[in-house]
Amino acid sequence: MNNRKPKLAMYWAASCGGCEISLANIHEVILELDEHFDFFFCPCLLDTKKADIDALPDGAISVTLFNGALRTEENKEMAQLLRRKSQLFIAFGSCAAGGGIPALANHHGTQHLMDTVFQNAPCLDNPEGTTPQPVSRVADGELHLPLLLPCVLSAKDAVKVDYTMPGCPPEPEQIVALIRHLAAALPLPSVENLPVCTERAVCDQCTREKKNLPAPCLQRPSVGVPEPGWCLLEQGYPCLGSATRAGCNALCPAVNMHCTGCYGAIDLTSDPGAAALAAMAAVIRPAIAGQDEAAIHSNITTAMNGLPDPLGSFYRYSLANAVTAVCKREASQ
């Protein structure tokens, strides 16, 4: 007997698996998912094969939750296949939306990545300088590995995305809302209408108080313990809450961890890194009054030492959306 429930797929591209864990964290609502959908494809949970997807008519899958960035040709091929087979294609989580952590490799390129991992890692024992090859011959035949794309892409760089779920990973409350909307055959809500997700900043959900006191320098979270209840940025911790879309109920600042920007830019047409940098420049004020040029330069340098990786701090989840158009065009062809 054919299963007449609409099919739901979930795919794991270049990501950590946290999105699958977040789906599991909807707890008993997973039974509602099973009631309303045929959970047809999820490589880390089910044994459905790519050939089973190929055999489906186009549009046979009702919804695909695609998580992870596009790092390899296989990731891109699966995104295109699932796009063709799906009525709704949802970029699920920060990596699919903006490249996430994998996209930080775009700053140096694939050769630097390969050299670092397989040639120059401090713990490496590889005297012959062996690196993975697209085809390797072994006793039992040939092993094939997918090629790396020239740079990491977000899902929208390769396929049409119908909807984006923000977060690293998306919050279970938002997943529940999405499932119930889909099960009821309702139009997808705008992101700001999902539970606890708005078009305002994380700062609007943060309970920490702003005292309008400048910080003399930036500092890494590992070097101290923030004062309870006081704005982390004003204490010198590089919090991106003012430049990041709300939706998490400011969970990280609540446990003394600065916001790292996983829900993405408030305004999708803006540059989240530039907005965060402007906020930090407004609150970090090293002592420079009455000093000569050399002392001013030294104080500013010292003040910024608490931010040793500006690119990774400001674009931790969104660098795939900030790489050059040439790189993205070459990788998406």
Tens of pLDDT, residue by residue over 245-295, are 888 889 999 999 999 999 988 876 677 788 888 888 888 887 777 788 888
What integer pLDDT is reported at residue 239 of this predicted model?
A: 94
Q: At residue 198, does pLDDT exceed 80? A: no
**Residues 260 and 248: beta-carbon distance below 8 Å:** no
Give the angle 135-139-140 at the CA atoms, nearest 5°. Answer: 80
What integer pLDDT is reported at residue 211 of this predicted model?
A: 93
Q: At residue 326, does pLDDT exceed 60? A: no
User: Whole-angstrom Cα distance, residue 314 to residue 256?
Assistant: 19
What integer pLDDT is reported at residue 325 of this predicted model?
A: 41
What integer pLDDT is reported at residue 95 of this predicted model?
A: 96
233 alpha-carbon distance from chain centroid = 22
What integer pLDDT is reported at residue 272 of this predicted model?
A: 79
What integer pLDDT is reported at residue 233 of this predicted model?
A: 94
What residue ranges do the domains of the chain occupy? Answer: 7-102+149-197, 202-321
Architecture of domain 7-102+149-197: 3-Layer(aba) Sandwich (3.40)
Q: At residue 323, does pLDDT exceed 60? A: no
What is the average pLDDT score of the chain?
88
Share of the chain above pLDDT 70, in %: 93
Each residue's pLDDT tens digit, 137-160 = 989 999 999 999 999 999 999 999
pLDDT band for position 322 (cuts 50, 70, 90): confident
pTM: 0.87
Least confident of 89-103, 188-202, 262-276: 188-202
Residue type, 88: L
Q: What integer is the mean pLDDT of 40-69?
A: 94
CA-closest candidate to residue 193, choices 213, 221, 173, 218 = 173
Helix (H) or strand (E) holding 165: strand 163-165
Each residue's pLDDT tens digit, 124-140 = 899 888 889 999 898 99
Place of tokens 């790489």: 323
CA-closest candidate to residue 247, choices 295, 175, 309 = 175
Give the angle 296-218-258 at the CA atoms, nearest 5°. Answer: 160
Place of tokens 């009631």: 35
User: Whole-angstrom Cα distance, residue 289 to residue 296?
Assistant: 8
What integer pLDDT is reported at residue 1 of this predicted model?
A: 41
Each residue's pLDDT tens digit, 5-26 = 999 999 999 999 999 999 999 9
What integer pLDDT is reported at residue 115 of this predicted model?
A: 92
User: Whole-angstrom Cα distance, residue 167 to residue 184?
Assistant: 24
